[in-house]
Chains A and B, each alone.
Chain A
Amino acid sequence: MRRASVFSGIAFRSALLFMLVFSVVLGVAGFALLKTTQASMNDQLRSSITQDFDLLRDANVTGGETELVKFIRAAVATRSDKQSAFGLFKISGKRIAGNIPSAPNFRGWGLLPTEGPQAQGDSPFLGYAEMLDDNVVVAARSERFVLTESGVVLNALILAGIVICASALVIGYVLSHGVSSKLEVIDRTLDQVSRGNSEVRLPVGRTNDQIDHVSGQINAHLDRLSEFMGGLRNTIVAIAHDLKSPLNRAYLLLQDAAEETDPSAASAKLERAQSEMETLGGVLDTVLRISRIETSDDSSSYTAFSAAELVRDLALTFDPVIDGNGQTLTWENVPTSGAPIFGDRKMVQQMLVNLIENASRHAGPGARISLLVRADSAQTAIIVADNGPGIPADKRDEVFQPFRRLNADRGSPGAGLGLALVKAVATRHHARIQLGDNGPGLRVTITFPPIPEPLPWPERQATTPAVITAPAVSATVAEPAAQP
């Protein structure tokens, strides 16, 4: 791992910021603590000096100058710590007793001159001087204690600051290292994905932190992306196959026509080539339409319309066609109105046309194709059922894949797109597709969600919902086969 990425990591930078802020706070708080401690110790020092001076004053009251000299000599002799000093001077400045070499030039509180035998070490002496009778009397104590204690406090503060700053840096580095490692793995993985390796996934740790959560999300997106890319690859291969066959036929026909000497025969071949090209165009149009339906989320063309009216209208259109195919179309149980759907009418129309044509194509001669509409206050379902061979339960998911043909009928290009378009339209309308067994045959049920509020459907409250019972079909099993 690059060290630079650790130091530039957010965790390390946060630690640095923390360290800076902490140092400033520690400095301000430490200064205040030091000053408070010094003030308190100064008070203590002055109190001790005042007590010494009171003893001197008592001695003066008791025995005058003689008693003072005696007391001072005894005090100087007994206080071996050399932290105290006393002095007795004539008004002229001449020393009478004590260990202070010269008379102070102040009265009240003041610092004694540093030179002289009283100056133990480098610490100055704080003194109190007053005239008692005709003499100048001084009591003093060294400030060393105050300075030493202040130094201890200051050292403690500096040490604490160094320890905390160092800890913050170490913790910041460790955290940043952890985050940077994970991010580098993500970076490397995404780089591999961008180079076309759709199989790699991010490691998801057990700590379940935010990065793990995001990694999980990215993995889920990558799964969907791989699925989509796989589907796209299959579709492209299938499109290429479906386009190549008619393209090849058109190519051969054009070649034939070019060599044909009879103009009418040449013209017939050109027409057939043209028809093959139209087939190509049709496949491309359908693929584009499916793609557009799947990717667009524009619902400006959505209206509330009656599924019953749409199904009846289509039944009137396809009845003669299906009759011409030697099959029967029944729609007697479809109500004349009601059964609301909110969606794009033309899309739903094409979806139903595909389902009807699919049923007619696969149900075989003599088959009966039934159209049904079931509606209640919650939802509307359109059912296209036939009594043909049906689709085995394990194959039902496959039929919605573009270009998937169960009977491997490669002779009709684009025929594998009908149900893919059905699924695209259903998904776009949040409708559910169920492929069930019609016992025998296939039963396709498209269930549309309720129309959204506010009610764009004036009849919803005005009429009783049309509940239509399907004609008796033996052993009707509606198995969910394809969830949109």
Chain B
Amino acid sequence: MKILVAEDDPQSSEFLRKGLVQEGHSVECVGDGRDALSYCLYNNCDMLILDRMMPGMDGLTVLKTLRAAGRKVPVLFLTSMGDVEDRVEGLLAGGDDYLVKPFHFSELLARVTSLARRPAGNEQPTKLIVHDLELDLLSHTAKRAGVNIDLQAKEFTLLEVLMRNAGRIITKTMLLEQVWDFNFDPKTTVVETHMSRLRAKVDKPFDTPLIHTTRNSGYSIHAPR
């Protein structure tokens, strides 16, 4: 995937370039908002990682101009402006995801991967299947190997988010945002506790575990490999 990194801090920019290249992506870096805009307007790229505060033109204006010009390139904001209002502003301007500095590289990678595979259309599946686990979104029921699993509301949403991103790592922050609508990190073990309860219902009674933890990164669900 060809990724443009628009970041004015050369150290951060180089860190991102190295990491993303290691993951097999092709990366271009610019340190000025106007350069980012002209690059996206006249070149093809698959994703834009955009800082908000940049010389030349701020990230928000870059994005608004791109969207006004009809460019649908997925945009991930990577910025130190992390307040609720800032996030809302970024997402309303047409940003696809928002990550606040300082960040774990694994968190960024998980979000980049999630954005890259986001379905282009608006088709909403009614049933999610991973290996022998089935989640019926209409009847709100879960079944594994034909056995009904009784899930609480939050456990159901948690499983749904994991299964919609099957095979990909979902970080704790992404889960807090998507399952609980928290844009802050609670001091208690909300994600860990709910994940442990979900595992006790989805994995424990069966031979093969489907939910996996990747240390320092997050969780993923996938069929045995």
Q: Which residues of A contact B (CB under 8 A)?
A: 271, 274, 277-278, 281-282, 285, 288-289, 292, 296, 298, 301, 316-318, 320-321, 324-325, 344, 346-347, 349-350, 353, 357, 360-361, 415, 418
Q: Which residues of B contact A (CB under 8 A)?
A: 82-85, 88, 100, 102, 104, 152-154, 180-190, 193-194, 197, 216
Q: Given A346-B84, A346-B181, A353-B186, A320 and B102 touching (CB < 8 A)?
A: no
The reply to whether A357 and B102 form a contact with Cβ atoms under 8 Å apart is no
If over half of A's interface residues share one DSSP class (helix, strand or loop), that class is named, otherwise mixed; here it is helix
Q: Given A285-B82, A292-B83, A347-B84, A357 and B188 touching (CB < 8 A)?
A: yes
Q: Given A292-B85, A298-B85, A316-B154, A350 and B184 touching (CB < 8 A)?
A: yes
Tally A-B pairs: CB < 8 A: 58
The reply to whether A349 and B182 form a contact with Cβ atoms under 8 Å apart is yes
The reply to whether A357 and B186 form a contact with Cβ atoms under 8 Å apart is yes
Task: Give A327 Cβ to nearest chain B Cβ, in Å.
Answer: 11
The reply to whether B190 and A318 form a contact with Cβ atoms under 8 Å apart is yes
28 contacts between A and B (CB under 8 A): A278-B102, A281-B102, A282-B185, A285-B82, A285-B184, A288-B82, A288-B83, A289-B83, A292-B83, A296-B85, A316-B154, A317-B154, A317-B190, A318-B188, A320-B193, A321-B190, A324-B189, A325-B188, A344-B84, A346-B84, A346-B181, A349-B181, A350-B182, A350-B184, A353-B184, A353-B186, A357-B187, A418-B187
The reply to whether A353 and B182 form a contact with Cβ atoms under 8 Å apart is yes
CA A415 – CA B153 in complex, angstroms? 30
CA A360 – CA B187 in complex, angstroms? 11
Task: Give B188 Cβ to nearest chain A Cβ, in Å.
Answer: 5
CA A476 – CA B142 in complex, angstroms? 45
Q: Given A271-B216, A298-B85, A321-B189, A316 and B102 touching (CB < 8 A)?
A: no
CA A347 – CA B85 in complex, angstroms? 11
Task: Give B101 Cβ to nearest chain A Cβ, in Å.
Answer: 8
Chain B residues in 8 Å Cβ range of A318:
188, 190
Kindly list the 7 A-B residue pairs having the minimum CB-CB distance in the complex, ordered from nearest. Answer: A321-B193, A320-B193, A321-B188, A281-B102, A357-B187, A324-B193, A357-B188
CA A271 – CA B105 in complex, angstroms? 13
Chain B residues in 8 Å Cβ range of A316:
152-154
CA A296 – CA B89 in complex, angstroms? 15
Chain A residues in 8 Å Cβ range of B186:
353, 357
Among B83, B84, B180, B187, which residue has its beta carbon within 8 angstroms of that of A317?
A: B180
CA A364 – CA B190 in complex, angstroms? 18
